[in-house]
Structures are given as structure tokens and as C-alpha cells.
Amino acid sequence: METKQFQTALPEQALQCAQVRALIEERGGLRAYVHTYGCQQNVSDSERLQGLLLEMGYSLAGAPEDADLILYNTCAIREHAENRVFGNVGALKAIKARRPGMKIGLCGCMMQQEHAVQRILEKYPFVDLIFGTHVLHRLPEFLYRLLTGEKRVVETGTEDTAIHEGLPVHRDGRIKAWLPVMYGCDNFCTYCVVPYVRGRERSRAPEAVEREARALVQAGYREITLLGQNVNSYGKGFSEPCGFPALLRRLDALEGEFWLRFMTSHPKDATRELIDTMAAGRHIARQLHLPVQSGSDRVLAAMNRRYTAERYLSLVRYAREAMPSLTLSTDIIVGFPGETEEEFRETLALVKEAQYDSMFAFLYSPRPGTPAEKMENQVPHEVKTRRFAELMQLQEEIAKAKNRRLQGQRLRVLPDGVQPHQPGFLTARTEGNIFVNLAASPDRIGRFTEVEITSAHAWMLKAKPVEPGA
């Protein structure tokens, strides 16, 4: 929950911050509400938006109805994500009508997509502010312009590709922290919108990452997740080489009690050096999210993934050997254009072999401007949903069987909150990031705890604490 002073290489924004602060004081205070759609990268961006808002003198509202400024940080990964945003923005019209002077802003990935911005401009005249992922640090300027009478501010340029260090951060939690290490993506998987909406790959300096990680550990954070669209290509273009395993080793050397996680890894760049570094780490959680997307070599090639199913599986085998307790998760897309029944069976076979602990599966969703959108043989929706159900059923059986083996075992978990509707129970995670329902009192929150697994289900474990030495 900390904020950091706006100590920055961005003098104009610092000035605008002060100017907005004066305007807000004149008005007797203003409240802002930020809502985040999409991935952890977006959550992390929102933490910086909130840091900037607090720096400008806004307080944070608990609900949109109580806010003078609503900011939606949007996601464009699938059509469904976009439709949710359009629907929810539509609903803001009525709220705004009841609160004259309220400002509504949209930012994030969708605002880097021309079709989405056009639709907002034409059909949602009550939206006051639109800005993309490249200019987040200019929020003070945008708000200054709005508060001094500009009708509508729209900034979706992609020219600014610098990394702006030193933005204030307001983190939602006190136990777990997101730490971006790189931005953008150069991979151009043919289904994916990310390279278009988040631009070219660029890495933060290892010193900057280390400084932020050290401060987090000193502030009492117990889990740090390094973020990037493809963390394994971290450090490309540095004059002094520092690849991702080297960065991990540097952070692993920090003193303190914490788990270090990272996401997302691209299998084409995940190396045995990465696995060896994880296996040797003191703080690095033995947990790997390694999206495979498909088990068919033809589909993988059409997706431009640049690995084969066999190469992927050989890395998985190496990792499991190096770390027998490894927890492995993946992303899979069903119904990529042209995916045949047989190719889908190859995905099922790979899933059986990889024995994932958890999986995120998605129906392929055509994204405007991507090569796959224009491919022939789009798979009918009913076929996609049937394959999806079959895949999920298989995964459920695998996860259930794997979790069942944990029953009766002793594990270390990190409790991170209270169960909302279950007094006497906490939410916790294992080192492998498996969800645990823990019968314990709230004073355990934020303290690593030895537990015994009392029962196991497909998506979660139940546990009770054990006293050391018992």
C-alpha cells in the first residue's frame, strides 16, 4: 500500500501533478476509481496509475458511483474481453448523468486498437479521456487538460517507447507484489494482439529491477512475481549482457524471506539454464507457467510459435527431473483456424504427457489486424466449445489425481487473506501457487506457515497448520 515520491526523469509530469493537486484542493478534494481488466501486466500498470492519482491529490473511491474520475484499464486479448469493456462503459452513462462534472477515462490495450477507439469516439460521447499503453506516465498532463476545460483528450500514439522509471506506485496488496521487468513483445504469434497494442520488447535495467525488489522485501512483501510478456528474452539489446537467468540469480541473492515467481515464459526461449537456476535458487518458487498453446506441430507452426511438441516436452522432462516438486501450468487455445479433430487429439495427448497442475484454456478468438484472423477454415463455435469441454474434463481428472497425492503431506504455504464467506478460514498458496483453504486465524496472514493437507480437490486444497516439530 505504499506510494513513492514522484522522483523522476519526467519534470513536466511532476509539474502537472502539482498543478492538478492545486485544482483538486480548490474543489475541496476529488475521488478516483480505477478498474482493471486483463492480465497482471495491466494490474501492474493500474498500480502505477493509482500511484500517480494519489500523487495528484485524488483519494481512491471504493465504487464507481462515489467517484469524480473513473478509469477503466482495458484488455484486448479476446473479443469477449472487449465486449465486457464496451458493456461496462455503456453502463457508466447513467452514473455520469447523476454526477455532473464526473470524468470517464479509458486506457490500456484496447485503446491501442483503432476499431475500438473509433467505436468509443462515435458511440460513447460521454467518455472524456482515451489514452494508450505507451503514454501512461502522462496521466497528470491529461487530467490537467480535462480539469482546465478541454472537452475530450485522446492520446493513442506509439512514438514513446521509453521506459519511464520512478513513477509512484500504489500496490493493492501488502504481501504479494507484481514487478514488471520488461514491456512489449516481439514474437508475433499469429493469433495475438499483444505486439500491436504493447509495442516492441524493451527491458528494465537490472539495477532498477533489483532496487525495486529489495525495497519490496524490506517493506515486508513475501512474494514477488516478475512480469513480462516473454520474460525469457529479458535483456535483449543491453550493452552489458544480462539474460533472464542472470537476473533471477541476482534477485535470488537478496536477503529476506520471500518467494520469487515469474511469468510468462515462452517455450522457444526457456532454456536449461533457466531450469538449473530455478532448481538451485533459494527464493525461486519451483513453479513454471509455460504456455504450449497446442500439441500439434502443424498448428504450432501456423501460430508462429517456433518450437515443436517434442521440443516442448523434452524441456518439461528436463524440468521435472531437475525439480521433482515442480508445479507446471500452461495456456492452450482450442479451435485455432484449420485445427482438425486429429490435431486437437494431439493437444490432448500432450496434456496427458505433460501432466499439468493447472491450465488456462481459451476458445480461439479472431483479433483484428492479426494474421490468423484472415486465415481460412475458421473453426465453428460449436466445435470449439465441444473441444474446450473435452480438454477441461481431461485437465480436471489430471489435477484431481495430482492434488490427491498431496493429501496428508506437509507443505509450506503463504496465507494472503481471509476467506470472504467462511469465518475461521484463510486463503493461502503453496510454493507451486496451488490455492489452499486454510483453517487458521488471521494473524497468520503474511507469515509462511507449515501445514498439513487435509483434503484435495481439482482446483484447491484444504489444510490446517502443523506446529514445527509436531
Interface residue list for ligand SF4 (CB under 6 A): 38-39, 41-42, 75-77, 109, 193-194, 197-198
Measured from the CB atom, the residue of 229 and 430 that comes closer to ligand SF4 is 229
CA 209 from centre of chain: 17
Q: Is 288 exposed, middle or buried (0-12, 13-18, 19+ CB in 10 A)?
A: buried
| d(C-alpha 419, C-alpha 425), whole Å | 6
By beta-carbon proximity to ligand SF4, the closer residue of 146 and 197 is 197
Q: Which does 198 bind (CB under 5 to 8 A by kind): ligand SF4, ligand 5AD, none?
A: ligand SF4
Strand segments, DSSP code E, in 319-409 are: 327-334, 358-363
Contacts of 43 (CB under 8 A, 6+ apart): 36, 172, 178
Q: Of 78 and 283, which CB lies nearer to ligand 5AD in the complex structure?
A: 78
Q: How far is the CB of 99 from ligand 5AD (least distance, A)?
A: 35
38 binds, among ligand 5AD, ligand SF4, none (CB under 5 to 8 A by kind): ligand SF4
Please, what is the minimum distance in Å from the beta carbon of residue 349 to ligand 5AD? 19
- Grid coordinates given for 348: 490432448
| Residue ranges in contact with ligand 5AD by CB under 6 A | 77-78, 191-192, 291, 293, 331, 333, 362, 364-365, 367
Q: Indicate the residue type of 276.
A: D
In angstroms, what is the minimal distance from the CB of 155 to ligand SF4?
17
Q: How far is the CB of 336 from ligand 5AD (least distance, A)?
A: 8
Which of residues 14 and 348 has its CB atom nearest to ligand 5AD in the complex? 348
The side-by-side arrangement of strands in the sheet containing 69-74 is: 59-60, 31-36, 69-74, 103-108, 129-131, 153-155
Q: With respect to ligand SF4, which residue has the nearer C-beta, 75 or 127?
A: 75
Residues 152 and 145: their CA atoms lie apart, in Å, by: 9
CB of 122 to ligand 5AD, least distance (A): 25
* Residue 400 CA: distances (Å) to CA of 291, 316, 461: 20, 20, 10
Grid coordinates of 339: 485445427
CB of 335 to ligand 5AD, least distance (A): 9
16 binds, among ligand 5AD, ligand SF4, none (CB under 5 to 8 A by kind): none
